[in-house]
Amino acid sequence: MATTKVVTVNTSITTAPLPNQMQQRGALVSQGGTTLSDGMVSRLSSPADLADIAALPVVNATLAWASNVVTVTTAAPHGWTIGDVVKITLAGVAPSGYNGTFPGTITGASTFTYPLTSNPGAETTPGTSTLWAVAELRQMVTTYFSGNGVRAIDVLELGEGTATAGVAGLTAFLIDVAGTTDAYYAYLVPREWDNNAAFLTLIGQYTAPDKEVYFYVTTILANRAVYSGPAFKNVFALVEAPDVDSQEFSCAAPFGTTLKQNPSTTNKVPPLSYTPCFGTTNYLVRGNQTTLSELADANVNWIGTGAEGGISTDILFQGKMSDGNFWNFWYSVDWAQINMDLALANETINGSATSINPLYYNQQGIDRLQNRAARVAGQGVSYGLGNGQILLTKLPADQFQTNYNAGLYAGKIVINAEPFRIYTATNPSDYAAGKYSGIACIWIPQLPFLNIFFNLQATTLITG
């Protein structure tokens, strides 16, 4: 005989959202520095990991000089693209005059040429040839891991080729990973990409406020104005010191600092301006005041000394993106976008998974969404990302805009949720479609000090 059940328990599960790690994801861009296939990535947990993927030197068979050009024949096919002009480093050749880094023109499957004004003499030891990209990637990795507390980093291989070919590879990669968990927040690009026409076109496609893609660029003094202005909020440009160390890629230092941030109430996000830089060479102030002033005017960053504050380590000067906004500004805006999206989607999904407290499209439901957004805003303030008192308003959209224009919300982070009856009356078809676009937020990012002016008056006046 079947037993009659007295109680039936219906269980609902409310699941908290997993933290979004997008702002901790970055890639070192390589063009032939590894053995990876084009478009593939590899994770590095330490500099030693690079040895597993670094491209090996190509063994030369012969070198011959004629008419200011050296023709190199390799012992086996080098695998480089015929017609490309790329930087190649020759080492171990005798006479030693053949050694160095040169712009090599790939002329065949096993040959390339490079310019050399003086004749070193007949080659007696052929040595090896290595793409400069190998050394540059090693510089990136060395400087990146010199930082304090940096996390593991990915290398994105785009394949040997010119800067324009590399940009084409990154363009295709960005399209392929858009909207997926394979996307990266920031890319550290090769020096050779600076002021490349194709690169300027690429970065121009990611300048909108909701585009969360950033490019860390090593530029030169002559190109300081290339990225300056409102166009490129997504570019962090840095000029290296004239005597930069041969093992150094200076821009990797702030790149690592930005990616190691993991915001919480006990791990607040500090300003990028004046942050410590390790494994770097500082740009000397003496004799370079005009140059550094020009860099500052162009929103270009550099690594200098912390001696003014009695600090012996190098520090980053400016901490700005190329549009003139501090790095913290856009990092904070992105954090708010990412986490507001995550929280509201989580609230909506969980609200459809419970019979105890379902989320309905009514005033109570709108209030619930507004309160969820307010909790995110409160987190942002406690994490050192937002600045201001949090204010919740329930106003028609036009009144909210009028109040904003009148300056009524100065110094406040405001979340407005247009009331149910007003919104549905104004947008009669949205209710049937389940669409609500009546929630808005005024967000104020937390920003740093850059210059402090202190007034001191010296006097011999004594009063008694």
The span from the CA of 157 to the CA of 143, in Å, is 19
Q: How confident is the model at residue 13 (pLDDT cuts 50, 70, 90)?
A: confident
- Give the rounded distance of the alpha carbon of 26 from its chain centre: 6
Phi, psi of 277 (to 5 degrees): -125, 125
Q: What percent of the chain shows pLDDT beyond 70?
A: 99
Six token digits for residue 335: 């954090």
Q: φ, ψ for residue 8 (rounded to 5)?
A: -115, 125
* Res. 2: pLDDT tops 70: no
**Is the pLDDT assigned to residue 224 strictly greater than 70?**
yes
- Name the DSSP letter for residue 109: T
| Per-residue pLDDT tens over the stretch 416-438 | 999 999 999 999 999 999 999 99
pLDDT tens for residues 263-313?
999 999 999 999 999 999 999 999 999 999 999 999 999 999 999 999 999
119 dihedral zone (left: phi>0; alpha: psi -120 to 50; beta): beta
What the block records as the tokens of 188 is 């550290």
N residues, the chain: 464
Q: Report residue 1's pLDDT band, with 50, 70 and 90 as the boundaries.
A: low
Q: d(Cα 232, Cα 234) in Å, to the nearest integer?
A: 5
Q: What pLDDT was estimated at residue 5?
A: 86
**What contacts 233, CB < 8 A, 6 or more positions away?**
207, 209, 321, 322, 323, 325, 330
Contact 207/232 with Cβ under 8 angstroms? Answer: yes
Cα angle at 346 between 342 and 349, to 5 degrees? 140
Of the pLDDT bands very low, low, confident and very high (cuts 50, 70, 90), residue 229 is: confident
Pairing of strands 214-219, 186-188: parallel
| CA–centroid distance for 438 within its chain | 32
Which residues sit opposite 326 in a β-bridge?
320
Element (H, E) at 105: strand 100-108
Element (H, E) at 295: helix 289-297
pLDDT of residue 464: 65
Find the helix packing angle between 252-259 and 132-145, rounded to 10°.
Answer: 50
| 445/41 Cα distance (integer angstroms) | 33
| CA–CA distances in Å: residue 369 to residues 208, 344, 351 | 26, 6, 10
Show me where the domains of the chain are located.
22-51+135-326, 58-133, 331-442
Output the 3-class SS for 13-54. CCCCCCCCCHHHCEEEEECCCECCCCCCEEEECCHHHHHHCE
C-alpha atoms less than 13 angstroms from C-alpha of 232 in its C-beta half-sphere? 26
pLDDT at 183 over 60: yes
Q: Which DSSP string do the residues of 215-279 spell out, in sequence order?
A: EEEEE-GGGTTSSTTTT-TTEEEEEPPTT--TT--TTHHHHHHHHT---BTTB----STT-EE-S
pLDDT tens for each residue of 236-249: 999 999 999 999 99
Q: Which three-class secondary structure string do you get for 356-378?
A: CCCCCCCHHHHHHHHHHHHHHHH
Tell me the average pLDDT across 115-144.
Answer: 97
Give residue 261's pLDDT band: very low, low, confident or very high (50, 70, 90).
very high
Please state at what angle helix 327-351 crosses helix 363-382, rounded to 10 degrees: 140
Average pLDDT over residues 321-338: 97
Q: Which amino acid is at 215?
A: F
**In the chain, what percentage of residues exceed pLDDT 90?**
93
- Give one word for 384, left, alpha or beta, with left for phi > 0 and alpha for psi -120 to 50: left
Cα torsion through 136, 24, 171, 342, rounded to 10: 180
The confidence score (pLDDT) of residue 14 equals: 84
- Looking at residues 177-182, what average pLDDT do you find? 93
Identity of residue 366: I
Q: What is the pLDDT of residues 45-101, one digit of tens each?
A: 999 999 999 999 999 999 999 999 999 999 999 999 999 999 999 999 999 999 999
pLDDT for 328 beyond 60: yes
Q: What is the mean pLDDT of residues 17-40?
A: 95
Structure tokens at 49: 């990991």
What is the average pLDDT score of the chain?
96
Q: 58-133 is classed in which CATH architecture?
A: Beta Barrel (2.40)
